[in-house]
Amino acid sequence: MDCLKPDGVLFVGDLSEGDIRFAKAIKGLPLPTAVILGNHDRGRDVTGYLLQSQLNILGEIHCGWRFRGWSKPPVSVVGARPCSAGGGFYLSRAVQAVFGPITIDQSVDRIVNAVNQAPEGQPLVILAHSGPQGLGSEHDSPCGRDWKSPALDWGDQDLSIALDQIRKSRIPELVVFGHTHHHLKKGKGIRRTFVQDRFGTVYLNAACVPRKVYDSSGIPLCHLSWVEFLQTNLQFVSHRWFRPDGTIAYEEILLDKRDNKD
């Protein structure tokens, strides 16, 4: 990570199947970090013990239902519902054991209240494990269900409602999430990973799985989604595959407004 020199890093969840070593490694990163845990991070433990153990390690950098911001660079990150499995609204037994029997309205309120803590004049980034409903109902939509027929919108209902409420006072620059993998099931192709709505908000699916691959020469490559802001304006979005020395082996540019390019 040091050779890439990012100003900060976001983790969209599904770090492991409950292995706390990943949480410890992330906690030790020497740069601004925000994390939201995914549905796989609870492992097979229904008691919530593994989930709570990771939350204890991550501490303030886990931003599920919370505001997390930093000043260098100035960025406001707000977490959506932690450990979401998509498909509308559902809380697993492990999540209920840790957070309680949260209703959809309470989840919406938590997201909106966290946004209200974000100072004006900073980019507002919503960090989610599953993206919101409303991005399409095809199998290749950013949150589309591709593993079972029929294809449908598998996004989070509470996040969609929260975004509607948030837009009454400000427009999030970026909603970044994971969960629905880029490569579709049964060889159906590649998912659409980038959407910009009529309000200007960009939705970015960062769930490239596997994140580590090898090129034709056997050199390991690591995928990261990369974004750049100029003040509050989102200027650049891409998927990048990095070599071990930090050089870019391949890049898929999704948005480029640098130097007035559109």
pLDDT 10s digits, 51-105? 999 999 999 999 999 999 998 889 999 999 999 999 999 999 999 999 999 999 9
**Is the per-residue pLDDT at 200 higher than 80?**
yes
Q: Find the mean pLDDT for residues 170-192.
A: 95
Q: Which of 39, 81, 36, 25 is nearest to 61 (CA)?
A: 36
Domain 9-213 has CATH 3.40.50.300: no
Nearest by Cα to 107 from 167, 51, 60, 165: 165
Kindly report the pTM of this predicted structure: 0.95
From the list 77, 221, 102, 216, the residue with the least C-alpha distance to 156 is: 102
Which among 163, 130, 133 is positioned nearest to 37, based on CA atoms?
130
Predicted confidence (pLDDT) per residue in 139-157, tens digit: 999 999 999 999 999 999 9
User: Other CB atoms closer than 10 Å to residue 92's CB: what's the count?
Assistant: 16
Cα 213 from Cα 123, distance rounded (Å): 32
pLDDT-derived band at 5, boundaries 50, 70, 90 = confident
Helix (H, G, I), strand (E, B) or coil at 225: strand
Is the pLDDT at 260 greater than 70? The verdict is no
Predicted local confidence at residue 106, as pLDDT: 98
